[in-house]
Structure 1
Amino acid sequence: MSDTPAAKSKQTSTMNGMTINWHDDKMESVYANIGTATANREEFYLLFGTHQNWRGSAAENKEVDVNLSTRLVLNPFAAKRFAAILASSLKAYEDQFGKIEI
């Protein structure tokens, strides 16, 4: 990663007649290859991290260490919108590159 500050930029989009200005000057990028979710009545918690489970045999992989790095807390309405945009993005990806098998 570069030590120089990221250039400030603003992207604009329109949704339902409303202009949305997306500012990315404080955005951070974090890589994750594992994630989980939990919720209570008020909030959804998305936990993201990394693991290196590709090493060793199946017998050696009875225990996996996950290094959690990011927790995203959403209210139920934001979580529902996030789920919808993620489903739409996954469909577009699979339409272009093929089905993701898990």
Structure 2
Amino acid sequence: MNGMTINWHDDKMESVYANIGTATANREEFYLLFGTHQNWRGSAAENKEVDVNLSTRLVLNPFAAKRFAAILASSLKAYEDQFGKIEI
């Protein structure tokens, strides 16, 4: 970031597992919602309904959301370059 050094402090960081997520936005903020589901109990074709336990909401301003999207896209490209394409 323009020659600035960023010092990351992770002593109070928490890790949260998510296997599903979604995003919404309004004019001022983006909302990233993360949670877990247990769809492994049956195929998607068998289930007409899936329960998702939301655990985390990340709220970003538009500038932070755009930077996050770029970082995530770069990380996904590096992952796929090393391990192969992720099929969804």
TM-score interval, normalised by the smaller of the two chains: over 0.9
What value does the CA root-mean-square deviation take over the aligned residues?
A: 1.1
- Give the aligned length: 88
Distance apart, 1:87 and its partner CA: 0.1
For residue 54 of structure 1, report the CA deviation from its aligned partner: 1.5
User: CA-to-partner distance for each residue in 1:38-84, whole Å, 9 max, x for gaps?
Assistant: 00000000000000011124453110000000000000000000000
TM-score (norm 1): 0.82
The 1:99–1:53 alpha-carbon spacing in structure 2 relative to 1, beyond 3 Å, is: same
In the alignment, structure 1 residue 56 sits paired with structure 2 residue 42: yes
The equivalent residue for 1:18 is 4
Larger deviation, residues 15-24 vs 87-96: 15-24
Greater strand share, structure number: 1
CA 1:56/1:42 → structure 2, altered by over 3 Å: closer, same or farther?
same
CA distance in 2, matches of 1:99, 1:59: 24
Identity within the alignment, %: 100
Relative contact order, higher structure (CA 8 A, sep 6+): 2
58 and 75 in structure 1: CA distance in 2 versus 1, 3 angstrom threshold:
closer
Distance 2:68 2:54 in 1: 21
Q: Mind listing any 5+ residue stretches in structure 1 that lack a counterpart?
A: 1-14
SS at match of 2:6: strand
Q: 1:57 to 1:20 in 2, by over 3 A?
A: closer
| Distance in 2 separating the partners of 1:85 and 1:45 | 17
